[in-house]
Chain A
Amino acid sequence: MKRIVHYLNQFFAGLGGEESAGTPPDALDGAVGPGRLLQSLLGEGAAIVTTVYCGDDHFSENEEEATARLLQLVKQAEPDLLFAGPAFGSGRYGLACAGVCRAVGAESGIPVLTAMSPSNPGADAIRRDIPVVETGESSGDMRAAIEASAPLIVKLLTGEIVAPGSEEGLLPRGGRWNTRASRPAAERAVDLLLAKLAGGSMETEIPLPPFQEVAAAPGIGDLGHAKIALVTTGGLVPRGNPDGIKSYLSTHFGAYHVKEHERLTGDEFESVHGGFFTAMVNEDPNRLIPLDVLRDAVREGSLGGLHEYFYSTTGNGTPVETAADMARDIAASLEEDKVNGVILTSA
């Protein structure tokens, strides 16, 4: 019987939500949470012998140490394969899955597999090196994600060659496979061109990488005459959320007037972000928008001034394009108000 170790975050391991995200690594016997469904699909030939887990915040903040500890826990279970996730669209969880898979793969040489959505930053980090099963954005897709992962686990365990990503339900791995196309390249190219000219839908055979390069803006130089603005993706808004900023998949931002404020208080502001533990920010919003100490810097003359508004949205599952659109709007008003630089904070 083949032995599998399953990696989960604190939530899927049943230890709690964001309030438990600081949980250090540890192991549990057998299958837990989504591992039980996976076990039922694997049949007799393979068993999840151990579940290892770590809180998402703990992993991001102590990556080296947490990875070393998890590696140790995985080794103790003497597995034939490691499966991590599914992490869906959760960035911290996805990065942890990626980190654990990379470490275990490199250290022990056993096959590793993880599952997450294409937009997860963890996917970009490893999909070229490690097979990543494509999932939806949320745990509502759990059954489909596990059902897609089980046959791949079996293939990896039996040493069967895993075909190009698109045929296996994996994210594109950037590799090249020799394959025989049904029609010659010239015909396909002309078809693509005709489809493009007709304004119809066309699917390129070589998609471009999604992130564009941007050149850095010149530095400010003299801060004593510079005006700085504060922007956050941490979802800080006036209590009651007057603009209805969404806690997840945010589509717009708010601009909040703080010209008269010496500091921000929890009586007046709160975070509506749905993806991190907001209690510490709600207790003292300056932990997210450091207005109080910037006021000190302006008073002492080391900084020229502070923009009278701060801008806020939630960076929680927000598609890159939506975020870019919001930032373009913010940039336009900052330019108009002659702002020289931005401190952008994210939880």
Chain B
Amino acid sequence: MAKELERAGIPTVHVTNLVSVSENTGAKRIMAGRAIPHVFGDPALGEQEERQLRRRLVEQALDMLREQESGS
């Protein structure tokens, strides 16, 4: 899906914990999330800390969309 969106000219960051699967299919912008059942959060943290963590992860994803080159 990430590749088809990129092909259409829409930069797409794939946030996943199965990074190798994403790499094998040839996705261009891949970011590891926190964990498989909660990519953008962590139930072990308090509400505020979890929200801060999510914000950091989202900023990281946005950075990958901003940039020209892919990274992982």
- Interface positions, chain B 38-71, Cβ under 8 Å from A, are 38-41, 43, 51, 54-55, 57-59, 61-62, 65-70
Across the interface, do B37 and A331 meet the contact criterion of CB distance under 8 Å?
no
Does A49 count as interface, using CB distance less than 8 angstroms?
Answer: no
Report, as a range, how many residues of chain B touch the other chain: 35 or more
Complex contact A220–B66 (CB within 8 A): yes
A187-215 vs B, CB cutoff 8 Å, 1 = contact: the mask equals: 00000000000000000000000011111
Cα distance, A214 to B70, chains bound together (Å):
12
Given that A214-B26, A287-B39, A340-B10 are contacting pairs, would A346 and B16 also be in contact in the complex, using a CB cutoff of 8 Å?
yes
Partner of B17, one of A60, A212, A221: A60
Q: How distant is the Cα of A280 from the Cα of B33 in the complex, in angstroms? A: 14
Q: How far is the CA of A292 from the CA of B14 in the complex (A)?
A: 19
A1 at the interface (CB under 8 A from B): no
Q: Are B62 and A297 in contact, with the CB atoms below 8 A?
A: yes
Interface flags for B10-29 (1: CB within 8 Å of A; 0: not) read 11111111101110111011
Minimum distance in angstroms from B13 CB to a CB of chain A: 6
Contact at B65–A228, with CB atoms within 8 Å? yes
Structural contact, B17 and A216, CB atoms closer than 8 A = no
Bound complex: CA of A216 vs CA of B8, how far in Å?
10
Number of A-B contacts (CB under 8 A): 201
A323 at the interface (CB under 8 A from B): yes
The distance in angstroms between the C-alpha atoms of A181 and B21, with both chains bound, is 37
Assess whether A219 is interfacial by the CB under 8 Å rule: yes
The distance from the CB of B31 to the nearest CB of chain A, in whole angstroms, is 9
Known: A340-B10, A342-B10. A216 touches B29 (CB 8 A): yes
Q: How far is the CB of B45 from chain A (nearest CB, A)?
A: 11
Contact B40 A286 (CB under 8 A): yes
- A residues near B17, Cβ cutoff 8 Å: 60-61, 347
B39 touches A283 (CB 8 A): no
Does A330 contact B20, Cβ atoms closer than 8 Å?
Answer: no
Q: In the complex, which of the residues B4, B14, B25, B36 contacts A276, with contact meaning CB atoms closer than 8 Å?
A: B36
Known: A57-B37, A61-B36, A280-B43. A324 touches B3 (CB 8 A): yes
* Structural contact, B20 and A121, CB atoms closer than 8 A: yes
Contacts of B37 in A (CB 8 A): 57, 276-281, 347
Query: Which of the listed residues B1, B33, B41, B61 has the most CB atoms from chain A within 10 Å of its own CB?
Result: B1
Contacts of B58 in A (CB 8 A): 290, 293-294, 297, 343
A223 CA to B67 CA, complexed, in Å? 10
Does A339 lie within 8 Å of B10, measured CB to CB? yes
Q: Is the CB of B14 within 8 A of A346?
A: yes
The 5 closest A-B pairs by CB, nearest first: A287-B41, A327-B4, A331-B8, A327-B1, A216-B28
Can you give 21 contacting A-B residue pairs, CB < 8 Å?
A214-B26, A218-B9, A218-B11, A219-B69, A226-B65, A231-B1, A231-B12, A278-B37, A280-B41, A280-B43, A284-B41, A286-B41, A290-B41, A290-B57, A328-B4, A340-B65, A341-B11, A343-B58, A343-B65, A344-B1, A347-B39
Q: Which residues of A contact B (CB under 8 A)?
A: 21, 57, 60-61, 91-92, 95, 121, 124-125, 211-223, 226, 228, 231, 233-234, 276-281, 283-284, 286-290, 292-294, 296-297, 302-303, 315, 320, 323-324, 326-328, 330-332, 334-335, 339-347
**Which residues does B use to contact A, with CB under 8 Å?**
1-18, 20-22, 24-26, 28-29, 33, 35-41, 43, 51, 54-55, 57-59, 61-62, 65-70
Known: A121-B24, A287-B43, A290-B41. 5 other contacts (CB 8 A): A61-B36, A125-B24, A213-B26, A214-B3, A234-B39
